[in-house]
Chain A
């Protein structure tokens, strides 16, 4: 796999025969298209491994499969470099294909360009996830953040704890991801140069976990007796940590990516406060009445378990906000606040030496009437007060599609092409892509090519595409 990743930049530097191309998205870092035009014929066109590049191995399965995938995309109609190539090929009125003489040198501005899908609030059939991965590749996204479980349901079928999904999924048979489903997602993503980072959010957002794992969640009390409801994972019980180590051992081996998202957001303390055992534990630990210390205690344990499993942890900003004693290599994910607030947060985090992931400006489950992609486009991830060193700690950003109102019926049109705005912000050179107005026609053309490729991408304004979406 390592050798395969090396061959991508090489391909991106191919000098290609090409016309005026308007649908390249995100904008490559250096793009020079000449007037000179070369014809392309499906019968003579071929992909070759360059011979002067020692690092490129023949028979790279990842590239071979990308070649076969992009050939039909180029001719009806190539991982990232191939994608750009395919976007340069155009069709004449008479049906012949051509490409202008073009030189492109390209690389991403940010190494982490993610999309979050939430499969707990609504179950997303595998097909919807795979289709999203296809569209992500077209926009050069490279991380699929799989917010796989949460309060409403637990669709991940665990080998070690099968009860989690058999009792915690919306339906134990039809609304789960089996191990082979997960492998299929991983393979599909890998072939497109996309990492899959799972999130198993705790200690809050775990209502569905409790159904299949008794004694995991904190029993809430009403006065001196249990009320029958449950709160976050019980941080005062050793059993919780035993379970979490076993469970994390499994999932960190199922998902190969070196990063692992641990959540840690929005922990409600009222249930903990009501529980006498938790209160006793607080006293024993000398936390006083400060439940953020209890939360820190839990998160520290979980982060340590995770790092012993050789994974780098990602946590939501709450974990940083409540306590400072988190390992330096933990990545912090910002999701809250107005621009002024998330900028200040970015400053504080990077000043503390943490790597940062920006999610706050790109909650695109929040919909509004009109061209709201422009707001996403105008985000400036590095526009916060800090040194050059601090800026380098912003590893990228993520588009979130939370699932309260989203399932397979409306996921694609809500995501595309709105997510493309963030894709360009995270890939392209900001100085060349400041104007949403200038990007607009290119994005419209790109949206039409998404349609042609079978992605149900919604329109940006009145108009038409030569190939409209014909499904439904």
Chain B
């Protein structure tokens, strides 16, 4: 009965301060009820016994796995990852060379100092992992994209293990899988079993949203999160970079936006160099960076550096001194957007930008006499969603002219704004019934969509909430096969009201891992007990690699987190 409060109270991802008050009533109740037992778990679904999994610590579970009993040793002094003969990627392929080193470090980080690197491999040893990129164009120097091929095949046998992938993106996923097959015995020696894996993602879009406006996140945390994303085969970093509270993006065209709108103009901004570094770090891990510049709502911080951008709100017949959403009736607004999105399209290489478009509050628009007049001129009547549509359509034209595709929050679709057929619609609202209906409606209209509603990880509750994250499936709605094909994936969201660098990582991991498996593995991978066993080991592996991933339940890791 205690998990009643985890029944998602989805309001908006933002207005939490108001929500906090509301929450207390529910919260008081649930805490009180749950206090009855000191130690017993209050979540109705608690998996506490690791029954072992035939799939060891693999996470997310590959599409096809066959493991044999035969095992080989791996030694830090003889094992290496090399380019296979005939691979279309060579020593100049940064993505792979960096990945080889990274995974060698993950495997032998602790044991590296022992011995020199020349000993010949003993007979029961695995001496090499040969990586072969099979397609003529390896994508080595490119960026991962919406249609990048992430498939791979991995064969572990003597004398070599072989990893084959059409593109480097698949090789990255295969390297992670290879590293997950390696296990450590009592004495710290590494072994791997003979195995064969064929793998590819179930969904193309597997994202994580970070919000750097409500709290500034130092670059180091963003990079650590990208590392963990790669360990879980996520491939989209949705960067909700600006919002009402602050504008940390340092624009070359409009430097005053962060100068005035960031929490601090120097210590709490992302410079062009920072952004570049994050994009490259992500590229090396096969992760796309999709920025979100949310308008016309959620733009309070924009107004500080850009005069006349926001709508002046009125109290009676005089301006009240406060501001509302972006002012949709001024030409200067569109001139500004034109220049800004031109810059954004150059700074962020991904083919998509996220345009937001959610939660537009009409009160300020209603109060403003100039807007009232404009509404009359355009015969919008009292329907302010028409004004919103007017704005969004002009914005979409601007973005289209920069050769970018766009993603938008579901309201833009709900409000009937005319959209290009390849627009991606991001579902975030409602309860299960509501979001499933929404997915059905969107796909019935022929649009592509991806899901976040069940995966608002900023919403925390006591106990093992990963199981409900794990159960949600983007295909669970009523629709034809063709409709299902329009679902490109999902995103785990970590909104920033209560999250900054102090608590981001343990709140995210391994909870986001549950979403990671849902989006990568086959639809029928749903055994929670098997998942618990693999995920517990996977989280210890993340901890050993320096990721602050919290525990699923009372237990230990051989190598505990060493920081504080």
Q: Tell me which of A336, A337, A375, A457 contacts B24 (CB under 8 A).
A: A375
Residues 289-326 of chain B, each 1 if its beta carbon lies under 8 Å from chain A, else 0: 00000000000000000000000000000000000000
Q: Is A257 an interface residue (CB 8 A)?
A: no
- Do A409 and B550 touch (CB < 8 A)? yes
Q: A336-B36, A409-B506, A464-B263 are in contact. Are A370 and B20 (CB under 8 A)?
A: yes
Residues 225-257 of chain B, each 1 if its beta carbon lies under 8 Å from chain A, else 0: 000000000000000000001100000000000
- Do B459 and A369 touch (CB < 8 A)? yes
Q: A175-B556, A408-B560, A451-B502 are in contact. Are A336 and B549 (CB under 8 A)?
A: no
- Do B35 and A472 touch (CB < 8 A)? no
Q: Tell me which of A122, A266, A363, A456 contacts B551 (CB under 8 A).
A: A122
Q: Is B214 an interface residue (CB 8 A)?
A: yes
Residues 353-393 of chain A, each 1 if its beta carbon lies under 8 Å from chain B, else 0: 00000001001011111111011000000000000000000
Complex Cα gap A410–B550 (Å) = 6
- Do A456 and B39 touch (CB < 8 A)? no
> How far, in Å, is A78 (CB) from chain B's closest CB?
23
Closest to B503 in A: A413
Closest to A123 in B: B556
Q: Is A242 an interface residue (CB 8 A)?
A: no
Q: Tell me which of A336, A374, A404, A456 contacts B503 (CB under 8 A).
A: A456
Determine which residue in A372, A409, A463 has the highest number of CB atoms from chain B within 10 A of its CB, and name it: A409
Q: A462-B245, A469-B502 are in contact. Are A368 and B5 (CB under 8 A)?
A: yes
Closest to B248 in A: A464
- Do A413 and B506 touch (CB < 8 A)? yes
Contacts of B32 in A (CB 8 A): 337-339
Q: Is B92 an interface residue (CB 8 A)?
A: no
- Do B556 and A153 touch (CB < 8 A)? yes
Complex Cα gap A247–B24 (Å) = 45
Q: Is A121 an interface residue (CB 8 A)?
A: yes
- Do A337 and B35 touch (CB < 8 A)? yes
Contacts of A367 in B (CB 8 A): 460-462
Closest to B562 in A: A125
Complex Cα gap A83–B409 (Å) = 48
Q: Tell me which of B216, B497, B502 contacts A413 (CB under 8 A).
A: B502
Q: Tell me which of B31, B36, B460, B497 contacts A375 (CB under 8 A).
A: B31
Q: Is B38 an interface residue (CB 8 A)?
A: yes
Q: A265-B38, A472-B548 are in contact. Are A125 and B503 (CB under 8 A)?
A: no
Residues 213-225 of chain B, each 1 if its beta carbon lies under 8 Å from chain A, else 0: 0111010110010
Q: Is A298 an interface residue (CB 8 A)?
A: no
Contacts of B462 in A (CB 8 A): 365-368, 405
- Do B39 and A266 touch (CB < 8 A)? yes
Closest to B22 in A: A370
Complex Cα gap A456–B502 (Å) = 5
Q: A266-B39, A336-B36, A472-B220 are in contact. Are A368 and B27 (CB under 8 A)?
A: yes
Q: Is A53 an interface residue (CB 8 A)?
A: no
> How far, in Å, is A144 (CB) from chain B's closest CB?
16
- Do A459 and B39 touch (CB < 8 A)? no
Complex Cα gap A312–B36 (Å) = 27
Complex Cα gap A84–B543 (Å) = 37
Q: A153-B556, A404-B41 are in contact. Are A461 and B502 (CB under 8 A)?
A: no
> How far, in Å, is A125 (CB) from chain B's closest CB?
6
Complex Cα gap A282–B214 (Å) = 63
Interface size class of A (residues with CB under 8 A): 35 or more
Complex Cα gap A264–B497 (Å) = 41
Residues 488-500 of chain B, each 1 if its beta carbon lies under 8 Å from chain A, else 0: 0000000011111
Complex Cα gap A248–B378 (Å) = 85
Complex Cα gap A163–B112 (Å) = 34
- Do B560 and A123 touch (CB < 8 A)? yes
Complex Cα gap A48–B549 (Å) = 46
Q: A338-B32, A370-B27, A463-B245 are in contact. Are A407 and B500 (CB under 8 A)?
A: no
Complex Cα gap A131–B499 (Å) = 21
Complex Cα gap A153–B557 (Å) = 13
- Do B503 and A410 touch (CB < 8 A)? yes
Q: Is B16 an interface residue (CB 8 A)?
A: yes
Closest to A134 in B: B564
Q: A369-B23, A404-B41, A472-B501 are in contact. Are A131 and B264 (CB under 8 A)?
A: no
Complex Cα gap A80–B128 (Å) = 60
Residues 335-350 of chain A, each 1 if its beta carbon lies under 8 Å from chain B, else 0: 1111100000000000
- Do A410 and B506 touch (CB < 8 A)? yes
> How far, in Å, is B553 (CB) from chain A's closest CB?
6
Complex Cα gap A365–B501 (Å) = 20
- Do B5 and A459 touch (CB < 8 A)? no
- Do A462 and B224 touch (CB < 8 A)? no
Contacts of B267 in A (CB 8 A): 466, 468
Contacts of B555 in A (CB 8 A): 122, 152, 170
> How far, in Å, is A472 (CB) from chain B's closest CB?
6
Q: A402-B39, A407-B551, A408-B561 are in contact. Are A461 and B498 (CB under 8 A)?
A: yes
Q: A369-B460, A462-B496 are in contact. Are A131 and B564 (CB under 8 A)?
A: yes
Q: Is A166 an interface residue (CB 8 A)?
A: no
> How far, in Å, is B550 (CB) from chain A's closest CB?
4
Determine which residue in B32, B34, B36, B268 has the highest number of CB atoms from chain A within 10 A of its CB, and name it: B32
Complex Cα gap A412–B560 (Å) = 15
Contacts of A451 in B (CB 8 A): 502
> How far, in Å, is B153 (CB) from chain A's closest CB?
34
Known: A266-B38, A451-B502. 5 other contacts (CB 8 A): A366-B31, A369-B458, A371-B20, A413-B503, A461-B498
Q: Would you mind naming 20 contact pairs between A and B with Cβ atoms under 8 Å apart? A: A122-B554, A122-B555, A123-B556, A123-B560, A171-B558, A266-B38, A360-B35, A367-B461, A368-B27, A369-B461, A407-B551, A407-B560, A408-B563, A409-B506, A409-B561, A410-B550, A463-B215, A469-B218, A469-B500, A472-B221
Point out residues on A near B: beta carbons under 8 Å. 121-123, 125, 127-128, 131, 150, 152-153, 170-171, 174-175, 205, 265-266, 316, 335-339, 360, 363, 365-372, 374-375, 402-410, 412-414, 451, 456-464, 466, 468-472
